Each structure stands twice: as structure tokens, then as C-alpha cells.
Homo-oligomer: A and B are copies of this chain.
């Protein structure tokens, strides 16, 4: 067998436009014959990014068959699960099927290992043979199919002590709590927008741990059930039932519970567009905003802050942070209530 050698970044799979990296490409080659520095994965489930899945579900009017058709259509068109509307992807779990000879000894994997990819589906060559089940509430799709991991592609071996589906759910958003840990200082007032969601719940937990007893953690959701849960979990000093797309209402609600001081740090974990302005108005001058949401518009954030004279540092939610997978899984081992909740929701 005479295998070809690929670029460590996967540029050899880019079909159009040529010269860009796989994430930026419109279409990549998803043939499953590997290059000598690629890993072939038998895929069992996809976790579709929440901003993407929310858009797909709404386009499909919640119809499962239609969701399947849209997902298949995207992969057929682009060679990857890269939502053309939201620009986002998700991640996958599966079993190592083949390891390119140039990687043997260079990576700690062997054929048969169960792994989750830690790079976005928006750059991962994917072939779907069958969609066996769609979990509309969990953003997860069980499939038969295959995928390719490039030489620089990150992955995590699935742990023995945590259910696969749970690991898939947590690892999808592992960057968010890791960044929260870096950003929040003792005594800080922290607002988590979408604090009742998957990444939001992890951020609420981590924020309370970091901000400590002198700090104040405020969760935001438009839904009563989410607010109730945030209060019940015990990490929210306040749970504000506000629609974050209503910027002035959010500002006023945060002003009220902070005596007008506003937030030192805002963490945006929503799955819908148009919450940049609410995030900006909820932040104090010289405060920080972490936009984890993939529905964030760059220009709306940059020009929105300028428009109201807010000197805030706005950070793009990098999905990767050193050690983020271990960090996120560690939270489940650390907190029994976090684990119980996520087992209820995702297993």
C-alpha cells in the first residue's frame, strides 16, 4: 500500500476554494482512504453545535426527518458538518479504525480506542452512512459513518468512569468553564447569559467557585424553569428571568441586583443571535465579556460597544484551552449535583 503524505493541517483535503485551511473551505474531500498522517474513525454519534442545531431545528420546524435531511444535505454538499448559516460545527465520538503509519509512535492511540474529537466538525471530513437516531433535546445524532482526524487534530480518549453520551455533551463545550476559570477573580460580579444551558451551567458552577463567597454570580434566562433550576443548584446569587435580546431590559435587571455597579465579567453562552448589546450594557466600564456563543456577530460587538462608549474587553470564545477536556470532565467528578443533572439531561 502506497499512502500519500498529507499536510498536518489537512490542506490536502481542501477542494474549494484552494489555498485555505479546511475550516475556511467551502468543500473538503471526505473520501475515507487515509493519508499516512491521518486517523480514520468509525463514528457513533455527533454532537451538533447548539447554535447550529437550533438553526437546523427551526428550519425543519422541529421535524426529525427534515432535520436528518438537512444534516445529510450539508455533509453531501461540503464533505463536513459545517452549517452554512451559523458557520459552526460540533464534535463527534467514535472508535479508532486505522492509524496512518507516519503517526505510529507519535500518538498514544491504538485501533479500537474510543475517542472524542476536540476539533470542530466544521473542519472534519465526515461521511454519514446512516442516521439511526436524532435526539432533538440533546443536540445529538447517532450515526453510522466515518471521519478523518488530521495530524494536528486534537482528541480525548473517552474516560471509563463517565458515560459516553455525557462525555460527548461535556467535551463539546469544554472551553467555556476553562476560560471562566481564567477570567473570574475572587469577589467578582459575574453574569452568565444563557446560564441555564449546557455550557452556561458549567460556567455558573466555575464562576461561583472562583468568585467565592464575596463574589456574586448572576444567571440569565428568559425561561422560568431555567431560572428555577439555577436557583436550586445553588451557584446563582441571582437568577434573572430576562430575554437577553432585549438589551435595555437586561441592563436594567443587572443594574437592579448590583446597585448599578454592573458586572465585572459577562459570559455569553446563548444559542441565538442578537445578544451582543445586552452583554455590553450589562458590563461595567473596563469589565470583560467572554463571547462563547457561536451566534455572536463580530461587527455587532465591536460597533455596539463603541456606539455606547463602553471600554470593555471582548474576547472571542476560543473552543480550545490547554487541558480543557480534562478540566471539564474533572468538574463532573468534583460536583455530584453537576453530574446528576447532566446524567439526567444527556444520558
A86 CB–B CB distance under 8 Å: yes
Q: Which residue of B lies closest to A11 (CB)?
A: B248
Copies in the complex: 2
Q: Is the CB of A274 within 8 A of B24?
A: yes
Q: Is the CB of A24 within 8 A of B277?
A: yes
A20 CB–B CB distance under 8 Å: yes
Which residues of chain A in 39-72 are interfacial with respect to chain B, using CB atoms and an 8 Å cutoff? none
Report the interface size class on chain A: 35 or more
A301 CB–B CB distance under 8 Å: yes
The CA of A116 and the CA of B19, in the complex, are separated in Å by 41
Q: Which residue of B lies closest to A301 (CB)?
A: B316
A6 CB–B CB distance under 8 Å: no
A9 CB–B CB distance under 8 Å: yes
The CA of A248 and the CA of B315, in the complex, are separated in Å by 24
What chain B residues lie within 8 Å of A245 (beta carbons)? Answer: 19-20
Of the listed stretches A138-146, A185-193, A219-227, A292-300, chain B binds A292-300
Q: Is the CB of A20 within 8 A of B277?
A: yes
Q: Is the CB of B277 within 8 A of A306?
A: no
Q: Is the CB of A319 within 8 A of B300?
A: no
The CA of A285 and the CA of B321, in the complex, are separated in Å by 10
Q: Is the CB of A277 within 8 A of B320?
A: no
Q: Is the CB of A20 within 8 A of B247?
A: yes
- Contacts A20-B247, A20-B277, A21-B247: A320 and B306 contacting too (C-beta < 8 A)? yes
- Contacts A312-B318, A315-B314: A23 and B307 contacting too (C-beta < 8 A)? yes
Q: Is the CB of A303 within 8 A of B122?
A: yes
What chain B residues lie within 8 Å of A152 (beta carbons)? Answer: 308-309
Q: Is the CB of A19 within 8 A of B246?
A: yes
What chain B residues lie within 8 Å of A235 (beta carbons)? Answer: none
Which residues of chain A in 293-347 are interfacial with respect to chain B, using CB atoms and an 8 Å cutoff? 294, 296-322
Q: Beyond the given A303-B319, A306-B320, please list 19 additional residue pairs across the A-B interface where CB-CB is below 8 A.
A: A21-B304, A21-B308, A23-B307, A24-B274, A24-B276, A87-B298, A87-B299, A87-B303, A118-B309, A152-B309, A291-B298, A296-B298, A302-B319, A305-B320, A306-B318, A311-B320, A311-B321, A314-B316, A314-B318
